[in-house]
Amino acid sequence: MIRVLSAIVVPPHLSVSGGARAGETLSAALAGACSVTVASMMGGADAPQGCRRLPVRTGLPPGLPWSRLANRHRTPFYRSDIPQAIRPGAYDLVHLHNPMPALEMRRIARACRAAGIPYVVSTHGFNEIANGATIYGFGALQRAAWRHLVQSPVADTVRGADAILALSPADFDIIRRMGFAGETIDLVPNGVRLPPLGDPEEDRAIWERFGLGLPEPDAPLTCMFLANHTPNKGLPVLLRSVLGLTQPFTLVVGGETRPEVDYAGALAAAGPQQRIIVTGRLSDAEVGALLRRCDLFVFPTLADTLPLVVFEAMAHGRPVLASAVGGIPHQIDAACGRLVPAGDAEALRASLAELDADRDRLRRMGECARLRVAGGFTWEAAAEKALRAYLRVLAAREAQGTARRASPLPPEPSRVAAGGRDPWRIPG
């Protein structure tokens, strides 16, 4: 059985990450065919079903005043002891998930190269990496830092990869521009599990906790947004859009709040019968109940690769109104959702008003959304595609080894000087 290390690179201060969740779920789906060890910088007490969890220590390089910096400025510099676990013969293959912090992603990739272990990369967050300087409005100095601390390390990781597992065809051009020269790019999109029906009493209790009553045919349109409230997710665009509506509405804003978003101003600007409910972080049970309560899921992201939350909303039978960026046009079609230009609050507002006027159409779109994910986007299908890529990579490595044994060559020099001290090593 193939021994796989699923290395999940994510800032440890985050409590929720779509890339981390996707990496763990794919690992569980692969566990029947591979011996999978999950090493996540987010930690976690329980291993994904069928997997083993490797305890991971994370930290920041010593000697700098990190406490004076906001989390977003510390993010690129977090390190872990995952590279120390990658030794010759320890694993047959390493699967890298998520690109931030990018310097740590590169350290893990280089540890794989030094140990002679092949690695593959899933493209979680690659659209955001490629377009981050634009969506965050960086100036010249910030753009230079983004290239050095984020884009360059990710590109280095991509160039040395044995295979790239793209989440959607929208990633192909990004991967090639990063320098991947392999003949094949594997298409391995995220999957989703169809949720069970909710318990009516539990759902009602959750709705009441957030000030929502029972759904009624003539009630105002209820929309839901769910994401980390980082600038790339487009929450300010959504707030500007709904506050320009003249009709009543309820907007549920899920996810951890951030100090740079003016929630109080948005709540104060809402008109009569216009409600904005900011929930903060939500449990899985709360997410499910709120998705079952809403009429429409709205996701006006400015840059995204293949957001798992869109599939989750569709699996709950909810139509999706989202930005036409990254892989989202490959997730939804006209039968189950609507696409608008990223950052266009007026186009978003017009679509909200149009969909609000035809609730029967919304319900039909929701039914189509559930059928679409059930038929084409499952974790079982993703695991089969990933396993085929693993087997191809290992077969190619075996063929290369056979060729080397038949015609010996001088050993490849190590990228790290023998006996050199790694200044980013996590003490332990």
pLDDT single digits (tens) 230-272: 888 999 999 999 999 999 999 999 998 988 899 999 999 999 8
Q: What is the pLDDT of residue 406?
A: 62
The per-residue pLDDT of the chain, averaged, comes to 91
On whether the CB atoms of residues 293 and 203 are closer than 8 A, the answer is yes
Does domain 2-191+379-406 fall under CATH 3.40.50.2000? My reply is yes
CATH architecture entry for 200-376: 3-Layer(aba) Sandwich (3.40)
Q: What is the pLDDT of residue 115?
A: 97
Q: What is the pLDDT of residue 417?
A: 40
The single residue listed with the structure tokens 């709120």 is 290
Q: What is the pLDDT of residues 84-99, one digit of tens each?
A: 999 999 999 999 999 9
Which one has a higher pLDDT value, 43 or 24? 24
pLDDT at residue 416 tops 60? no
User: Rounded to an integer, what distance in angstroms lies between the CA atom of residue 347 and that of residue 328?
Assistant: 17
User: Rounded to an integer, what distance in angstroms lies between the CA atom of residue 237 and that of residue 345?
Assistant: 6
The pTM assigned to this predicted structure is: 0.86
Per-residue confidence band for 354, with pLDDT thresholds at 50, 70 and 90: very high
Mean pLDDT (whole number) for 176-197: 93
User: Rounded to an integer, what distance in angstroms lies between the CA atom of residue 41 and that of residue 9?
Assistant: 6
The domain locations on the chain are 2-191+379-406, 200-376
Mean pLDDT (whole number) for 32-49: 91
Which one has a higher pLDDT value, 186 or 63? 186
- pLDDT > 70: what percent of the chain? 94
pLDDT at residue 198 tops 90? no
Q: What is the pLDDT of residues 214-232, one digit of tens each?
A: 888 889 999 999 998 988 8
On whether the CB atoms of residues 70 and 11 are closer than 8 A, the answer is no
The single residue listed with the structure tokens 């872990």 is 80
Per-residue confidence band for 127, with pLDDT thresholds at 50, 70 and 90: very high
pLDDT at residue 37 tops 70? yes
Spatial neighbors of 120 by CB under 8 A, at least 6 apart, are 93, 94, 95, 96, 161, 162, 163, 164, 165, 386, 389, 390, 393
User: Rounded to an integer, what distance in angstroms lies between the CA atom of residue 412 and that of residue 31?
Assistant: 33
Per-residue confidence band for 16, with pLDDT thresholds at 50, 70 and 90: confident
Q: Please check whether the two domains, 2-191+379-406 and 200-376, share a CATH topology.
A: yes
- pLDDT > 90: what percent of the chain? 77
pLDDT at residue 411 tops 60? no
Q: What is the pLDDT of residue 66?
A: 85
